Structure 1
Amino acid sequence: MIPRAAVLGHPISHSKSPALHLAAYAKLGADIGYTALDVTEQELPALMARIRAEDGWRGLSVTMPLKTGMVAEVDEVRGVALTLGVVNTVAFEEHLGATRRIGYNTDVAGIVNAVVNAGVAASPDAVILGGGGTAASAVAALKDLGTRHAQVFVRDTARAGDARAAAAAVGLSIDVRPLSEAAAPTAHADVVISTLPPHGADHLAQHIAALGTRTPGVLLDVAYDPWPSRIAAVWQDGGGSVVPGLEMLLYQAVEQVRLFTGRGEDVNAAVIDVMCDAVGLPRRAI
């Protein structure tokens, strides 16, 4: 059986993860298949039970809305994933003749690398849009960047549990406020991380444009289809730097490829170059 991996989420048809991973495996000469599986939160336990009974799995990439639910579906959670209670990566490891499913979080490193590459300085004034699993990773990333306080804007302040739990876990002070109040604080922030779904920030973008002010900071919009998003276009028009979600996806996927293949140093600049080419990103040094 050919070793295999997959990205799980709902919806998933837009995902660029297969292109990134397959390009990397081809360059490495690693015979690993990689597909996209549309899985809802309700379907996740049954899928993981089926996967548990099958041979040949190397890894799973986990996207919305499954990142918190996956914690209960693995045998062990390591690193920042344990701190946050958010898993975006599952690696399959052999130990004493048995396969163990290990949960990791590569989103935090993906966010940090993406915004640092865009020129974000230490201790930035920060805004997060959204309060779910990816927002939790954004909280941890901002803590790593030296941010002491962040504003989190959400559509429903009662549903920001992931962001609040992450802030408590890593020791970052946050204010959670309605998305309707986000325009001015967002426009003036050093770094904005939008974890909202596609079109989720369109209304906010209109309000930022209506302010008629410059947007001098860095915006990372995790949603990358369609691109450019409305908020990315408004941000760029205001003079700010925009980091496409594809760049974050690249950075976190590099770490996944290393985990799924077990070939750390081999996942080098040449592999990253073909991953960039596969999704139309400028080539980056990692």
Structure 2
Amino acid sequence: MPAALHCAVVGDPIGHSLSPTLHRAAYTSVGLDWSYDAVRVPSGGLARFVAGLGADWRGLSVTMPLKREALALGEPVTDRARTAGSANTLVRRADGWLADNTDLPGAAAAVRERWDGPVRSVTVLGGGATAASAALAMCDLGAREVRLLVRSPERAAATAALVRHHPALPVVSVGDLDGPVIGDVVVSTVPAEAQTPDLVARCRDVPVVFEVRYDPWPTPVAAAVGGRVLVSGLDLLVHQAAEQFVLFTGVPAPLAEMRGAGEAALSRGAR
């Protein structure tokens, strides 16, 4: 494998991202002399950015608002990215840029790391690309009922359609963010400022709380978990980044080192 290749996380905003910390720690752990940076790429700019990359670029981690643009650039596209309707990973191959979605296996692995109980029904707060990936991941774990609670139900139609097409054919409903929270797992993808005391209270009867955000931390939903199971945004980030690391390098990911680097960065407020 070439000694020095380049990777990056792209999105807007991007300054808060922990991805460089995790990937750089992984490179150091396995002895790869690779670079990994955070690059601000605004909405609508991904195709131009990718077209300008040299042959020494190996892969991109893609965050909001570029995940659907990444899917459109993929050649080829993995089944799970097509199922999710978005891609968070682009990997340079001989035949083009492979578009993949490691949020799906990452979310499933994050939950299973903390919870070995049943996942039969879930409530997902939010209706964007991350919500779609999380809902599909919960269907992979066994969920057959998915409730999407969103601030604008009409904007969640595309996400609901994606989840309904999961091979398990789950029953999917869409409601306002002030609706009832049910199930074995509640997944929060909404901003901390949208997590009102009333919403937090409605999450208290669900045994597993999966908060996909890690900054700011804890969010109101995460802070109210008490003795229940909490799956954090760092759990998700580490597992999806580990999947990306394997795609980029072909080397098994040093999960413990990646997690340790992320925890240390969060504890000191650094990236």
The normalised TM-score by structure 2 is 0.89
- After superposition, give the CA deviation of every residue in 1:150-205 in whole Å (9 maximum; x if it has no partner): 11011111111442232132122210111122xxx32x4310111223x24422xx
Matched, 1:277 2:270: no
What is the one-letter code of the residue matched to 1:190? D
Residue of structure 2 aligned with 1:251, choices 230, 239, 261: 239
Matches within 5 A, 1:199-278: 199-203=192-196, 206-209=197-200, 214-234=204-224, 236-237=225-226, 239-263=227-251, 266-267=252-253, 271-278=254-261
Match of 1:46 in 2: 48
Match of 2:16 in 1: 14
Distance 1:17 1:69 in 2: 19
Q: Secondary structure at the match of 1:257?
A: helix
Distance 1:58 1:200 in 2: 37
Matched, 1:66 2:54: no
Verify the 8 A CA contact 2:62 2:88 in the aligned structure 1: yes
| Percentage identity across paired residues of the two chains | 38
Q: Secondary structure at the match of 1:273?
A: helix
Matched, 1:109 2:105: yes
Q: 1:129 to 1:209 in 2, by over 3 A?
A: closer
After superposing on structure 2, the runs of 4+ consecutive aligned residues of structure 1 that deviate more than 3 Å are: 208-211, 213-216
Q: 1:123 to 1:278 in 2, by over 3 A?
A: closer
The normalised TM-score by structure 1 is 0.85
Q: 1:246 to 1:137 in 2, by over 3 A?
A: same
Q: 1:196 to 1:216 in 2, by over 3 A?
A: closer
Q: 1:240 to 1:139 in 2, by over 3 A?
A: same
Q: Secondary structure at the match of 1:280?
A: helix
What is the one-letter code of the residue matched to 1:168? R
Match of 1:190 in 2: 184
List runs of 5+ in structure 1 lacking aligned partners: 282-286
List runs of 5+ in structure 2 lacking aligned partners: 265-271
Q: 1:162 to 1:33 in 2, by over 3 A?
A: farther
RMSD: 1.9
Moved more, 245-254 or 123-132: 123-132
